[in-house]
A = this chain, B = another copy of it.
Amino acid sequence: MDLAEAIKTLTGVSTATLTSQLSKRGLNKVFMKGVRPLSASQPRFAGEAYTVRMIPAREDLGTYETLRSPDNPARKAIEHCPAGKVLVIDARGVTEAAVGGDILFARLQVRGVAGLVTDGGVRDAEEVRALGLPVQCAGPAAPASIGAHFAVGLDEPVACGGVAVMPGDVLVGDGDGVVVIPRKLVAEVARDGAEQERLERFLQQKVRGGASIVGVYPPNEATLAEYKTWKG
């Protein structure tokens, strides 16, 4: 499975399943804390990480002009994050200021960016929800990023929601939040995750039909045999 195919597959696999797949491979530090969908109805997404690193604002670092200039990494990212990728903004878990608002995020959407992920806040939350771009963040916050953050890096290793994100890792977001899949595990996790989803759909159907979880979840040999027949 190549990367594009894996990413496509991953949009149909839940973060619950993916954390389990990663846990089986010894990776337990992959789910972001304090990062959740801005809108209950936004679509799931998967894509490679493209990162922005921000440190705390300090009154002497840059002028208002340089901070809003297209060379500022946070602004540059809006035009340079490749279509299909996920823009990840390391905001150090600061919830009291936004990393951006409706105009910047509209541009991301027009450019085909797959989603926005940050452990900081988002302003113009109502308008951003209306955009349709999947946004995972710490929640709404009106104050602009300028008062809280100073962007210093583009596409570097960063922390987001207490998790390491390396450029090229794949992020998947759904109603539970965001999981980070290390690049070299993407293909196998996509494959095994999709299979786990299929199995769980079958098990869910049995359980809703009245089956006990004993022997079903987790499935024993008999259940697995039944599943094999079911999936044909």
Which residues on A are within 8 Å of B, measured CB to CB?
A: 14-16, 18-20, 23, 26-31, 33, 36, 55-61, 68, 70, 75, 78-79, 92, 95-96, 98, 101-104, 106-107, 110, 123-127, 139-144, 146-147, 150, 152-153, 156-159, 162-166, 174-177, 179-180, 182, 184-185, 200, 203-204, 207-208, 210, 212-214, 217-218
Interfacial chain B residues near A159, Cβ < 8 Å: 55-56, 92
A sample of 20 cross-chain residue pairs with beta-carbon separation below 8 angstroms, ordered by A number, consists of A15-B123, A16-B142, A16-B144, A20-B144, A26-B59, A27-B59, A28-B59, A55-B157, A56-B159, A57-B164, A58-B180, A68-B218, A103-B200, A103-B204, A103-B207, A140-B175, A140-B176, A150-B157, A150-B164, A152-B157
Give Cα A124 to B196, complex, Å. 14
Give Cα A20 to B123, complex, Å. 11
Give Cα A15 to B179, complex, Å. 31
Query: Closest residue of chain B to A106, judged by CB?
Result: B207
> Contacts A126-B174, A204-B103 hold; do A30 and B14 have CB atoms under 8 A apart?
no
